[in-house]
Amino acid sequence: MAVLMKGAEVVSAMKDRLLKEVETLNAGGITPVLAIVRLGARPDDLAYEKGAIKRCEGLGIRCRVFEYPEILTQEALVGEIRKLNGDGSIHGILLFRPLPGQIDENVIKYVISPEKDVDCLNPVNVAKVFEGDETGFAPCTPEAVMEMLAHYNVDVKGKKVAVVGRSLVVGKPLAMLLLKKHATVTICHTKTHHIEETCREADIIIAAAGKAKMVTDAFVSEGQIVIDVGINLDENGNLCGDVDFDKVEQKTAGITPVPGGVGTVTTSVLAKHVIQAAKWSK
């Protein structure tokens, strides 16, 4: 029977570690602070913001929300971010994306200070992920995958890992994090020929293509670990992942659910990054 790899268990283990780190910072007179920058009030942004604040404040991290109108100009947003960069009391900056049409993300991503860029928007941090340089911040979701694998004692060293998805938000940086742990990584995507065969030959499948129930039982061999990063709506409007869970679960040795899997861990990784930024600011 497959092990159901739930995110809540990982979050609990991380909480114990992170609380101790915050206590150490507090003893030195430092309270970690996260600035959340949001333009407008999209329901999905508000939902994530609420969860992030709850997770951070439960660890002793203070959150400050900077809400601006959706019509804010690019020049004004640059000015506001620069103020946050220069504010020594703020250790991390989280900018909600996608940004409104009048704002060019390719400009904004260079404005956020790499030292405060806790979700890896600045290309400096992206480059550090690809170099294996631990003085930067990886995107929260790929690092959440690594936290889950470590917690459930899935050693990737020497293993074949099929990463389904090639985005710069998940697939590519995740492949780099896996390579650093000595995995043998194949990046697949929706245009990959014989993708089912490639996945069946892997020891671990990580689905991050953003396509509901794309990974069926045809992708899976007996005894694999399957990590589902996707968050989609199925034909009935219900939340589902990139993996057809009901068809795949019975074949696997371990599998993450959606909801309740990787997504649950991302805000803990965000908190971890804010704490690290606070340490580096000393």
Which residues does residue 62 pair with via DSSP β-bridges, in sequence order?
Answer: 33
CA–CA gap between residue 99 and residue 107 (Å, rounded): 12
Domains 29-113 and 140-262 share a fold: yes
- The answer to whether residues 65 and 49 touch, using CB atoms and an 8 Å cutoff, is yes
What number does CATH give the domain 140-262? Answer: 3.40.50.720
Pick the CATH number of 29-113 from 3.40.50.10860, 1.10.560.10, 3.50.50.60, 3.90.1150.10: 3.40.50.10860
Cα(19)–Cα(154) distance, integer angstroms: 25
Tens-place pLDDT, residues 164-199: 999 999 999 999 999 999 999 999 998 999 999 999
Query: Residue 158 burial by CB count (10 A; 0-12/13-18/19+): exposed, middle or buried?
Result: exposed
- Band (137; pLDDT cuts 50, 70, 90): very high
Quick check: 236 pLDDT over 90?
no
Q: Across the chain, what does the average pLDDT equal?
A: 96
Average pLDDT over residues 39-52: 94
Helix axes 43-57, 262-280, angle to 10 degrees: 60
Q: What pLDDT, on a 0 to 100 scale, did the predictor assign at position 2?
A: 87
Q: Where are the domains of the chain?
A: 29-113, 140-262
**Residue 1 pLDDT > 80:** no
Both tokens assigned to 183: 């995995």
In this predicted model, what pLDDT tens digit does every residue of 139-170 receive, in sequence order? 999 999 999 999 999 999 999 999 999 999 99
Q: How far apart are the first and last CA of the chain?
A: 48
pLDDT at 181: 97
Q: Is the pLDDT of residue 88 over 90?
A: yes
pLDDT for the residue 234: 86
Token pair for residue 120? Answer: 């890896």
